[in-house]
Every structure is written in C-alpha cells, then in structure tokens.
Amino acid sequence: MSKVKFGVVGYGNIGSAHVRNVMGGKVPNMELCAVCDISEARRKAFSEAYPEIPVFATATELFKSGLCEAVIIAVPHYHHPALAMEAFDNGLNVIIEKPAGVYTKQVLEMNEAAKKSGKLYGIMYNQRTNPMYQKLRQMVQSGELGHIKRITWIITDWYRCQAYHDSSTWRSTWKDEGGGALINQNPHQLDLWQWMFGMPDRIFAKVSFGKYYNIEVEDDVMAYFEYDNGTTGEYITSTGEAPGTNRLEIACDMGKVVIEGGQMLFYRNVVSERDFNKTNTAPFGSPEVWKCEIPHNGGGEQHSGILKNYADALLNGKELLAPGEEGINGLTISNSIHLSAWTGETVDLHNFPHDKFYEILQEKIEKSTVVKQDKSVVADTEGSY
C-alpha cells in the first residue's frame, strides 16, 4: 500500500503523540521520515526512541531535506502560519495544529499561500471525527430539525489551576500564547460551532481577564451570537470552574437536542412547534414530545482519524474532513469575542476589522506585565521547532 512520507515539526506533547500514533500503526497510510525540534533535549529523546529516523535542529533543515512530502506543524500558536508558508515554499503538503494562528491577518496570508502552492492543506480539527457532532451536523443540514432557534454551549470543564499557568513562560500570555481559554482550550468547540451551525453574523461578549488566576489573558467568557435568520447563540467557557460542564443544547422547531455526558438526546416534537402553534386552540397546549436517544459509536478516531483522512486525500483524492482553509472561521469567532470584550461593541463578522484587532493585540503585548519563572523543560503543550 502506498504511504505518505511525512515529517513532524515540533516534538512536544502533541507532536510526540502524532509520532506515537503513526509508529504504533494507527495511521497505516503514513510513514514517518523525519522530525525536527530546536530543543536538544527533545531531539535526544526522539533519537533514543526512534534511532532509525533522522532528526533536525530546525524546520528549514527538515523542509529542505527531501525526505518528506508532507509535514505536521505542531509548535506554539504564533508560529503556525510562518512555518506552514515556508513549507509550502519548499513544495510540501501541510497539516497545521489548532488553532490556525493567533490573529486573522496571519491566517489569511497563510490561506493565500496555500492556495498559490496548490498543495494539500489540512488542520488538526480532530473533534470533527466524533460521531455525535457528525450526526448533529447532518441533522442540521438535512433540515430535520427545522429552524434552529437557540444554541447554547456551556463548556467549562477545562479547569486549569495556577500551577498549570506557571508551568511554562509562554502559557497564558499575550506575547507567546496570544490568549487564554479561547485560543488554547476552545479552538475545537469554536470550529465545531461554525461547522455544524454556520458562522454567526454578529457577536457581543463579556470576558474576564485574570479573574481566577494571576494571568493577563482570559479565563472566563460569555458570548452572545446572532444570526441574520433569527437564530441566537450563547457560548460560555471558563478555566476556573471545578467541576465544570460540557453541555450543548439546540432548541429548534422540531424540539431540542442535547449532547452531554457522552449521550446525544433528541427531544423530538411529533409535529413542528411552528405548525402546532398555527392550529392549536388550547391555552396551555404543547406538542407531543418523544425522548429519543441517538446511537453513536464512541468518540471517533480523533487525531489518527484526521491523519488517515489526510493521507487518503493525498493518495486517493478523498475529500478532506478538515481543510486548512477553514481554520480562519473558528479563529474569526475567537478574535471577535476578544475584540467585543476589548471595545464593548458588537462585532460584525462579515466585516471583521483584521487590522484593528491586530493593533489592539500588539498593545496588549507591549503592556504585558506578567512575569513567570520558566519551568518548561518538557511540559509544553506543543513542541518547539
């Protein structure tokens, strides 16, 4: 069977996880041919585990080695676009880790570079492999739910204590991470939101920065989404709640869908609420409701599923489950929440002010006051390059 020859840029927690998945046989249509990391300790650790595979000190060396036809960019957020563009310039296909970047300006530039290169461009949105979210998306797109009235996602089971924020100098800073809960923990959910329901038209948000911890970025978020068709949404997230909640609720003409605790329930109206309302004459009448448990098969293949799909797309032309160009969507939602919180204004996503957001972000970076001792020998979420 043909295999995609690929390399991993950044051998941190997530980069090493991709290596283990491939080397462990979970992605049979990919072959690991090279790794790079600027950390000597990480390079040594990789070489001890996989002495037969070349390891490089820089991404440029890997890109120019000729050993790979595709690379996974698994480094801290700000570096995703620059390294992806360098890889495209070297004729390589690219998968980037989430988020696509920190601010929309750099991701738009990356998307344009990908388009010009003609190379296959994917993003590690592994939650798209989850059967529950796939089924919900299908139900929305098929019209089975009727009009979506309200979407509420409470996703607060991200608890991160002060020791977590202190574990590395790049964590929870504007300069090195580019944000907090929205840019670190929530990119998957923000992507799933737009993937299942489409992009909101307007966002207004209230956000707390350093509410629970000694950090400069957000740790508590409440955002209100509006759609031109009348659908409204609430997005609530925090890293300061224990125990937290992960509940997605969709109110629609045909009833209500709830995803929580590994279950997907459809409280299905026998007839559409709108149709019932037109004919009902009883003052306290309501539609008959059936409680339906929607079956699903676990949480999907996650990271290995995205890699297998990407390789299949490269080898056989299969449609990508997570095209890289779509990374701009979830990031636009994230940037819009930040911008609304900073300005107190409702943000129009159709006319998002990319330059304005970037300028305010630079001001936040310049005014950064949080100083932490570096404890990050091996604790980084993503690798260095």
Does residue 311 share a domain with residue 242? no
pTM of the predicted structure, to 2 decimals? 0.94
Does residue 253 share a domain with residue 157? yes
Does residue 207 share a domain with residue 102? no
Strand arrangement, sheet containing 202-209: 289-293, 263-269, 255-260, 246-252, 148-155, 232-238, 218-226, 202-209, 347-348
Give domain status of residue 183, yes or no. yes
Q: Residue 71 to residues 15, 37, 146, 320: CA-CA distances in angstroms?
A: 11, 13, 41, 16
Give residue 372's pLDDT.
53
Does residue 283 share a domain with residue 161? yes
Contacts of 107 (CB under 8 A, 6+ apart): 81, 100, 101, 327, 328, 331
Give residue 1's pLDDT.
58
Residue whose token pair is 């927690």? 13
Does residue 354 share a domain with residue 206? yes
CATH code for the domain of 296 = 3.30.360.10
Give domain status of residue 164, yes or no. yes
Give residue 223's pLDDT.
98
Instruction: Name the amino acid, one letter, at 220.
Output: D
Give domain status of residue 377, yes or no. no
Does residue 336 share a domain with residue 207? yes
CATH code for the domain of 16 = 3.40.50.720
Does residue 144 share a domain with residue 118? no
Give domain status of residue 70, yes or no. yes
Does residue 142 share a domain with residue 56? no
Give residue 371's pLDDT.
53
Does residue 226 share a domain with residue 337? yes
Give domain status of residue 72, yes or no. yes
Give domain status of residue 364, yes or no. no
Strand arrangement, sheet containing 30-36: 55-56, 30-36, 4-9, 70-73, 93-96, 121-123
| Phi, psi values for residue 247, rounded to 5° | -135, 120
Does residue 246 share a domain with residue 349? yes
Does residue 243 share a domain with residue 172? yes
Residue 341: which domain range?
128-300+330-358
Total structural domains within the chain: 2
Does residue 284 share a domain with residue 154? yes
Kindly give the confidence (pLDDT) of every residue in the chain, 385 residues in length, as a single tens digit, with 9 standing for 90 and above: 599 999 999 999 899 999 999 999 999 999 999 999 999 999 999 999 999 999 999 999 999 999 999 999 999 999 999 999 999 999 999 999 999 999 999 999 999 999 999 999 999 999 999 999 999 999 999 999 999 999 999 999 999 999 999 988 888 999 999 999 999 999 999 999 999 999 999 999 999 999 999 999 999 999 999 999 999 999 999 999 999 999 999 999 999 999 999 999 999 999 999 999 999 999 999 999 999 999 998 899 999 999 999 999 999 999 999 999 999 999 999 999 999 999 999 999 999 999 999 999 999 999 887 555 443 333 333 444 4
Give domain status of residue 366, yes or no. no
pLDDT in tens, 72-128: 999 999 999 999 999 999 999 999 999 999 999 999 999 999 999 999 999 999 999
Give domain status of residue 380, yes or no. no
